[in-house]
Amino acid sequence: AQSVTQLDSQVPVFEEAPVELRCNYSSSVSVYLFWYVQYPNQGLQLLLKYLSGSTLVKGINGFEAEFNKSQTSFHLRKPSVHISDTAEYFCAVSGGSYIPTFGRGTSLIVHP
Amino acid sequence: EAGVVQSPRYKIIEKKQPVAFWCNPISGHNTLYWYRQNLGQGPELLIRYENEEAVDDSQLPKDRFSAERLKGVDSTLKIQPAELGDSAVYLCASSRVSGRAMGEQYFGPGTRLTVT
């Protein structure tokens, strides 16, 4: 079985500050990893994905994530956030079952 | 290209009433998913279709939920009868690839169901 843990339910940050949203996973097989963003009253939008190759993955809107196999982590980072980044962020993993499992989400709140 | 289309966007019904949600995936995407997202939670898979075949439906409460994708394109998810605990957002997603890369999905805006 696979699982995803998003360690922070809410992350408040000031505009233009850096941010890291944490994600840890467990799986008995090699995995593909994803980060999605969900704005209010909208569906999920893919931010970035790790399938193979370089462990540093760059996505849309200036976000990046690093796959760390030894720590089973896939943390999401942005060096300088904007008010418009306020949203819910979901980490997801797909492994042996091929069905993606989502974390519970982290609410990023950017203050002016 | 057009995104995943869902309707209605919002639905309020009384318990024990039936309700149906419709989804049209992105053209060319053979895999279609229905998820339920409870407040403050991530999406949970209800059913996955490969073309018109339901290949993962273990999480679908089959006593009251049903789904169909007759021609392998659009899909309908039905609840009959609805219960208070069914209040949630129902998300439809589609993907072009298979295998573990199925996580690369495209989501519709969802249908917010409120059962009173």
Residue A92: what pLDDT? 92
Q: List the 75-104 stretch of B: residues with Cβ below 8 A of A.
A: 91, 93, 98-104
Per-residue pLDDT of chain A (112 residues; tens, 9 = 90+): 788 999 999 999 999 999 999 999 988 777 889 999 999 888 899 999 998 888 999 999 999 999 999 999 999 999 999 999 999 999 998 876 667 889 999 999 999 9
How close is the nearest chain B Cα to the Cα of A82, in Å? 23
Please tell me the distance from the alpha carbon of residue A24 to that of residue A8, in angstroms, as a whole number. 11
> Is residue B36 within 8 Å of B57, Cβ to Cβ?
no
Per run of 10 residues, the mean pLDDT along chain B (length 116 residues) is 91 97 94 93 92 88 93 93 96 80 81 96
What is the distance in angstroms between the Cα of A98 and the nearest Cα belonging to chain B? 5
**Closest of A7, A3, A2, A4 to residue A106, by C-alpha:** A7
CA distances from A78 to A4, A38, B3, B10, B96 (A): 21, 16, 27, 33, 28
Rg (CA), chain B: 13
Each residue of B84-107: pLDDT tens digit?
999 999 999 998 866 655 567 899
Residues of A whose CB is below 8 A from B48 = 99
The alpha carbons of chain A give a radius of gyration, in whole angstroms, of 13
**How many C-alpha atoms does B92 have within 13 Å on its Cβ side?**
29
Residues of chain A whose C-beta is under 8 A from some C-beta in B?
A: 4, 31-34, 36, 41-46, 49, 51, 90, 92-95, 98-100, 102-105
Model pLDDT, residue B2: 80
Distance CA B73, CA B51 (A): 7
Which of B100, B107, B111, B114 is the mutation pick for testing A, counting most A CBs within 10 A? B100
Q: B60 touching A, CB under 8 A?
A: no
Nearest to A104 among B42, B102, B107 (CB): B42
Distance (Å, whole) CA A15 – CA B60: 42
**Is the backbone peptide bond immediately before B81 cis, with ω within 30 degrees of 0?**
yes
Q: Which positions 6-35 of B are in contact with A (Cβ < 8 Å)?
A: 6
φ, ψ for residue B105 (rounded to 5)?
Answer: -110, 160
Residue contact A102–B4, C-beta within 8 A: no
- Dihedral over Cα of B102, B103, B104, B110: its sign: positive
The nearest alpha carbon in chain A to B57 belongs to A99
The pLDDT of residue A32:
87
CA distances from A8 to A13, A51, A74, B36 (A): 13, 24, 14, 22
CA distance B36 to A22: 24
Question: Distances from the Cα of A21 to the Cαs of A26, A38, A108, B41, in angstroms?
Answer: 17, 14, 8, 16
- Give the pLDDT confidence score for residue B102 in this predicted structure: 58
CB-nearest to B102 from A42, A43, A98 is: A98
Distance to chain A for B16, nearest Cα, Å: 26
Record the tokens describing residue A93, joined without a space.
């993993």
